[in-house]
Homo-oligomer: A and B are copies of this chain.
């Protein structure tokens, strides 16, 4: 059994990106610039955005954090999005989700110029991903593919079970895993709350990508000997022994499942760090105008 070390790989990729930025600057180019809009003070969002800003520093990017209180109107937010769309110095930007209930998230997502949509949430990027065209790949799915790639894990003809059908993980990663490429060419099954025999589906899988958000959902008896397990879950579970008061809990019962696997991602330190690195990669692509 081999633990997939997302932390080490993400560190290596950030270094690769930083070197490329050095080369761009040495050639008289502009430093890549990622902007992030954060509305309100959601604990998870604060952490994510802080990590993104830190990753920008590590990669040698300029980063701009734009903060608003919860009471910002949708119109004000859309005005800011438009401003960033038109700002030639900003290569890419994100609006951290979730947004307060009075703001239409989909409307905001679609207001972002798809050429600066480094989160890959705009329909143009989601559509190009589904069709198999170059695009800003959604960060978590892209991070998962990068892990498979760096560990040379075979995917062609393998049975891949995706648990969860969200727009940001389950559906796009299923789409990518079935494309004619590596990683890809897998036989993909998407399971969800209405799946009749989810245990059987998992037991037949060579690769399980768990993105349900249900702590320890995948048990030892649901995993076949030698399977590859990618755990996308990051549920915050109260933990009085931690300074933060919580710990992150994956969708996989790691301690019992790991011994049966050929490869497995831990939580934390698996998919999580890769997600932010994917965002950095998209920002670099945006700065280089490689896709649009």
Cα separation A129 to B125 with both chains bound (whole Å): 12
Task: Write out the residue numbers on chain B whose beta carbons fall within 8 Å of the beta carbon of A127.
Answer: 122-130
Shortest A61–chain B CB gap in Å is 27
Q: Which of A133-180 contact B (CB under 8 A)?
A: 133, 156-159, 165, 167, 171-172, 175, 178-180
Which chain B residue lies CB-closest to A198?
B187
Residues of B within 8 A of A180 (CB): 165
Question: Interface stretch among A28-36, A71-79, A189-197, A230-238?
Answer: A189-197
Residue of B nearest to A161 (CB): B189
From 84 to 122 in chain A, residues with beta carbon under 8 angstroms from any chain B beta carbon are 106, 122
Q: Is the CB of A106 within 8 A of B122?
A: no
A165 to B127 alpha-carbon distance, docked (Å): 15
Q: Which residues of B contact A175 (CB under 8 A)?
A: 130, 171, 175
Per-position 1/0 for A181-222, Cβ under 8 A of B:
000011111111011100001000000000000000000000
> How many chain A residues touch the partner (CB < 8 A)?
37
Query: Are A130 and B171 in touch, CB under 8 angstroms?
Result: yes
Question: Residues of B contacting A44 with CB < 8 Å?
Answer: none
Min distance, Cβ A184 to any Cβ of chain B, angstroms: 9
In angstroms, Cα B133 to Cα A126, docked, is 12
Residues of chain B contacted by A133 (CB below 8 angstroms):
106, 123
> Which of A124, A157, A178 has the most C-beta atoms of chain B within 10 angstroms of its own C-beta?
A178
- Of the candidates B130, B132, B189, the one whose C-beta lies within 8 Å of that of A130 is B130
Q: Is A3 an interface residue (CB 8 A)?
A: no
Determine whether A248 belongs to the interface, using a CB cutoff of 8 Å to chain B. no
A141 to B114, CA, bound (A): 26
In chain B, what residue has the closest Cβ to A196? B157
Residue A66 is within 8 A (CB to CB) of chain B in the complex: no
The verdict on A178 contacting B157 (CB below 8 Å), with A124-B124, A127-B127, A131-B167 known, is: no
Return A191 CB to nearest CB of chain B, in Å: 6
Closest to A128 in B: B123
User: Which residues of B sit under 8 angstroms from A106, Cβ to Cβ?
Assistant: 133
A179–B195 Cα gap in the complex (Å)? 12
Which of B158, B172, B178, B191 has a CB less than 8 Å from the CB of A192? Answer: B178
Q: How far is the CB of A292 from chain B (nearest CB, A)?
A: 12
Residue of B nearest to A195 (CB): B187
Which residue of the partner chain B has the closest CB to A124?
Answer: B123
A50 to chain B, nearest CB (A): 28
Give complex CA distance A180, B166 in Å.
10
- Measured between alpha carbons, how far is A195 from B178 in the docked complex, in Å? 10
13 contacts between A and B (CB under 8 A): A126-B127, A127-B129, A130-B130, A131-B171, A157-B194, A158-B196, A159-B196, A171-B175, A171-B178, A187-B191, A187-B194, A187-B196, A189-B189
